[in-house]
Structure 1
Amino acid sequence: MEKTIYDKYVCILKEELIPAMGCTEPIALAYAAAKGRELLGRLPERVVVKASGSIIKNTKSVVVPNTNQMRGIPVAVAAGIVGGKPELELQVISKMNTQEIEDVRNFVETIPIEVEALDDGFVFDILIEQHWGELKSVIRIVNSHLNIVYIEKNGKVYLDCVSDMREEKQDNFSVLSMEGIWDFVNHCDLKDVEEPIKLQMELNWAIAMEGMRQQYGANIGKVLNETYGNDIHNLACALAAAGSDARMNGCELPVVVNSGSGNQGITVSVPVMAYAEAMNIHGKKVIRALLLSNLIALYEKVGIGRLSAYCGAVSAGASAAAGIAYLNGEGYDTVIHTVVNALAASSGIICDGAKASCAAKIAIAVYTGLMGYEMYKKGQQFYAGDGIVGDGIEETLKNVGDLASKGMLETNNEIIKMMTKERKKSDE
């Protein structure tokens, strides 16, 4: 692999596999709010939040950590304003003290926080205005969770690159391909990439264990484990679900994300680690298996997009199965057919926001990924023309991307209407 391409792979991993506490869409709101409060220089007396439909969808039902189990956009914004530390990025509200946690509820109850839908052509779009008297700060984030594109204070614009975001630039991601990923995983110097992978192993396993120990949400992980036992096939699904159980329902442990999503970070990593433990595999092979699952998931999301009506657990579950196949010593053909089989089977699962049921979808996605692997091991596969399956892995991934980013646009709009109760009576 050419050094310039190699360096871009390393850069992608270091930029994408980062720690976050809490569901990342509310955390992005908290981050923008914390930056705006810092810019304003004081607590505001009025706040205006404008957000795209997909941000509203992914913030409506999930518990915001360090808020005493509160939910919603005003809560996420209040947490960022009251106790957010923007230098911590996606862990912006992880260091709140006891008084700040108590102050969040008071802020929500006493300070006007107006929430408006923002439809300016971006699926991922957050704009937060904070006012105190005639003072005003404005922060806008577009396309990804930390990507601030507009800064304004008291009418003076300090940054405005919104127009540059009209066509999302993914120069680094353009180097990704399945063959390139396979080459990189097998030949990279682990010293260049092991730091984020090892952190992912540590943090994501810890939250999976927390989900299995405690009561969170619908306890999908526990239900699977108690019902179907410790067979490794089931345990891999249960542990991944347990991590999401905890994360979606207020657990304050961080995770290392994939494609900006903690649930996807859990899904690509925890099942692979569960299999490695059961198979007594440790060290370099596990790291390379996790590199494979992470990079495949990142590659899949290039076409799908960060936010859509397509459930990201589906692509992550297929990627996890690829990592498990790698642990078993399988070659390139088995890996790519595992991914195709899984995507062919479960690509219809919708994303209807971040919430407790994400854990169930994760379990389904991991199960489907494992089914795709077992199919190919037994000489079975889906072929080009079987639904969305294309002629090879690259065409199949393109089809999935088109399905998610184009075909499911209206699905996403309908989901948002349902969740915000804005459907017309004639549609009910």
Structure 2
Amino acid sequence: MSTTADIHRTYLAILRRELVPALGCTEPIAVAYAAAEAARVLGTSPDHAEIWCSGNIIKNVMGVVVPNTGGLKGVDAAAIAGIIGGDSGLGMQVLETVTAARHAEIRRLLDARFCSTHLIEGEDNLFIIAKVFAGDQTAEVVIRGAHTNIVRVVRSGEVIVDDAGEDDVGESVDAPSPELNVRDILAFADTVALDQIADIISAQIEKNTRIAEEGLRGQYGVCVGRTLLKHCGSDFKTRAKARAAAGSDARMSGCALPVIINSGSGNQGIAVSLPVITYAEDMKVGREELYRALVLSNLIAIHQKTAIGKLSAFCGAVSAACGSGAAITYLSGGDYEEICNTITNTLANVGGIVCDGAKPSCAAKIASAVDAAIMAHHLSVEGKVFSGGEGLVTADVECTIANIGRMASEGMKSTDVEILRLMVGGAR
């Protein structure tokens, strides 16, 4: 049995692994990272490139603008940007070094079909092979399971890395973590020394707030955040939804500001933090209480995603907003039972939102999920909770989380395949 000290070490390691900065939507960034690393390994300018990837990567790259490319979308654009201007040493911020002077060259290479994209079926949901060629020299980088998890590197037939497992730059490969449960997460949030998590959480507050403010100022996507504030008032719920949506508005449209991600997703990092930050501001909650609430929110979201997987047909905004709702209940003085009830009420409501790729409408899904989480909170503080036996809900919150995870990871596999088929041309 794990001791309290063991659990604390595990939870701190999970937070440090999962809450990392990323510039742009994480799937095109993973492609750019793999391509940039392949070019680095090659050691010379490639004359062409190939990207082979799983359906979930293609799905999440098709509709989102790749940052620092001058508004381009797609796997090829992400790979070319990584090759000609990226720095793989920056991990999920690989495209930070791509300047505006490179935009014309990226577009020229795109038009010249410098890069080709190929679908790999029957592989992990998060799987990328980047191959670059210069004459008779080649380099290949394989990523599996997590956005920067390089498992194989080959240069001109020589295997340099083989089955490396987790890397030290990005987030973890999904794996069941028996230590993650709501009761221990709550105990950890209550007792962790502030100086052990302050740097991670303060970065999440600063970066995610900044991109939300940019989203509310600018014209990004269909301006979900701005529209909510214009037409729906300025109460807490509207502002929480609007700020979270605005952060996604900006990210999905190529804003070159980094966010602190959660479970491999910037949108989830936004949804798990901004509603909590907004509530804390409204209630004039102190720094320590806010930090502890964000620890709870992040870990509740990660707990759900370990069962679901980083990429699936299940919209990750739901698990992230569920974490926010739990943290709002926590900040309002809710106990373990009330926090569990908020989680249950959220999942009972919006557990059916599908992920049909990263794109501007993610902002609207975030707003809907946050709305559901806040309603779940209000029901919980009134002593109301959906009962076990109603759909996937059980009397035990851990079983409910497990049910959602199984439905998302196993039950929705065929849904995922059909979504991809429709997205790439099965229906018009």
**Could you tell me which residue of structure 2 aligns to residue 144 of structure 1?**
146
**Could you tell me which residue of structure 1 aligns to residue 207 of structure 2?**
203
TM-score by structure 1 length? 0.96
Q: Does 1:60 align with 2:69?
A: no
How far apart are the structure 2 equivalents of 1:67 and 1:12?
Answer: 32
Q: Does 1:113 align with 2:128?
A: no
**Could you tell me which residue of structure 1 aligns to residue 284 of structure 2?**
280
Q: Does 1:268 align with 2:276?
A: no
Q: Does 1:238 align with 2:209?
A: no
Aligned residues: 422
Among all aligned residue pairs of Structure 1 and Structure 2, give the percentage whose two residues are the same amino acid.
41
**Could you tell me which residue of structure 2 aligns to residue 255 of structure 1?**
259
How far apart are the structure 1 equivalents of 2:165 and 2:41?
Answer: 23
Amino acid at match of 1:9: Y
TM-score by structure 2 length? 0.96
How far apart are the structure 1 equivalents of 2:198 and 2:159?
Answer: 40
Which residues in structure 2 correspond to 1:326-337 (within 5 Å)?
326-337=330-341
Structure 2: runs of 5+ lacking an equivalent: 167-171
**Could you tell me which residue of structure 1 aligns to residue 198 of structure 2?**
194
In structure 2, the CA distance between the partners of 1:385 and 1:54, relative to structure 1 (3 Å rule), is same
1:111-130 per-residue CA deviation (whole Å, 9 max, x = no partner) reads 43111111243111000110
Q: Does 1:36 align with 2:38?
A: yes
Pick the aligned partner of 2:328 from 324, 347, 369. 324
Q: Does 1:177 align with 2:181?
A: yes
**Could you tell me which residue of structure 1 aligns to residue 364 of structure 2?**
360
How far apart are the structure 1 equivalents of 2:376 and 2:323?
Answer: 11
- Look up the SS of the partner of 2:227 in the other structure: helix
How far apart are the structure 1 equivalents of 2:322 and 2:376?
Answer: 8
How far apart are the structure 1 equivalents of 2:288 and 2:164?
Answer: 42
- Look up the SS of the partner of 2:133 in the other structure: strand
Report if the CA contact (8 A) 2:174-2:309 is conserved: no
Q: CA offset at residue 101 of structure 1?
A: 3.0
Q: Does 1:315 align with 2:319?
A: yes
Report if the CA contact (8 A) 1:127-1:138 is conserved: yes
How far apart are the structure 2 equivalents of 1:128 and 1:247?
Answer: 24
Pick the aligned partner of 2:374 from 370, 376, 379. 370
How far apart are the structure 1 equivalents of 2:304 and 2:344?
Answer: 11
Report if the CA contact (8 A) 1:131-1:137 is conserved: yes
In structure 2, the CA distance between the partners of 1:191 and 1:297, relative to structure 1 (3 Å rule), is same
1:378-403 per-residue CA deviation (whole Å, 9 max, x = no partner) reads 22210111001023110000000001
Calculate the aligned-residue CA RMSD, in Å: 1.7
Amino acid at match of 1:313: A
1:349-408 per-residue CA deviation (whole Å, 9 max, x = no partner) reads 000000000000000000000111111222221011100102311000000000100110
Q: CA offset at residue 171 of structure 1?
A: 6.2
How far apart are the structure 2 equivalents of 1:172 and 1:420?
Answer: 32
How far apart are the structure 2 equivalents of 1:133 and 1:28?
Answer: 26
**Could you tell me which residue of structure 2 aligns to residue 226 of structure 1?**
230
Amino acid at match of 2:339: V
**Could you tell me which residue of structure 2 aligns to residue 72 of structure 1?**
74
